[in-house]
Amino acid sequence: MVQDDKPALVYVMDPMCSWCWAFKPVLAEIRAAFPQLGYYTLAGGLAPDSNEPMSASQKEQISGIWRKIESTVGTTFNHDFWQQCQPRRSTYPACRALILARHEKKEDAMIAAIQQAYYLEAKNPSDTDTLVTCAQEIGMDPVAFEEALLSEKTNKALEDELAFNHQLGVRSFPTLILKQEGQWFEIGLDYKDADVMIQQIQTRWSPA
């Protein structure tokens, strides 16, 4: 999944993970602080495919996480999602979209489009139509994208990525890892202060 031996930051996330949405601003600061480092985004696969609507208790649990993040981190959420959409606990489609966008070096744009649709526009990225719209917005061919999104080839690519994440020991999202000289160091996260993580990375890595 990570195709070279150069030092790099490896970010394991899910486009429909609310804590990943909260982490976005500090992640941007971290990336800007280390332009010399390689950078990879891997799809986390928070919740497998499902056509079942969320139960009332599950909706309350996840909407409660949104409110907690809002109050503790200050991240903005559009809570109309819970009234306007029929939520499903299914994030694998969004992860497949990330993988397809990576083929065109547009994974950052795809993540941004999915997060914008989900958290700010009250649209459901568990739905193929929402993901096709996101792909079109970032300049991907919507017809080819939809065909690939639903293909077994893309599903296999996601399965391989999830297996790789498991080998790395990733158990939660987001996870940020520094890859340095064949070793992988997980960085402790702080959702408000990028400097905390920048210092950890500086301790482990120094430019040649």
Residue 76 lies in a domain: yes
CATH of the domain at 180: 3.40.30.10
Strands (E) in the chain, as ranges, are 8-13, 38-43, 175-180, 183-187
At 173, list the tokens.
């999202």
pLDDT band at 208 (very low <50, low <70, confident <90, very high): low
Which tens digit of pLDDT belongs to each residue from 155-203? Answer: 999 999 999 999 999 999 999 999 998 899 999 999 999 999 999 999 9
Residue 69 lies in a domain: yes
Sheet holding 38-43, edge to edge: 38-43, 8-13, 175-180, 183-187
Residue 123 lies in a domain: yes
Domain boundaries, position 84? 8-204
Residue 74 lies in a domain: yes
- What local confidence, expressed as pLDDT, does residue 2 receive? 86
- What local confidence, expressed as pLDDT, does residue 170 receive? 96
Which tens digit of pLDDT belongs to each residue from 106-134? Answer: 999 999 999 999 999 999 999 999 999 99
Residue 1 lies in a domain: no
Residue 64 lies in a domain: yes
Tell me what the pLDDT averaged over the chain comes to.
Answer: 96
Determine contact, residues 99/158, Cβ cutoff 8 Å: yes
Residue 140 lies in a domain: yes
% the chain with pLDDT above 70: 100
Is it the case that residue 206 has pLDDT exceeding 80? no
Residue 2 lies in a domain: no
Q: What is the domain count for the chain?
A: 1
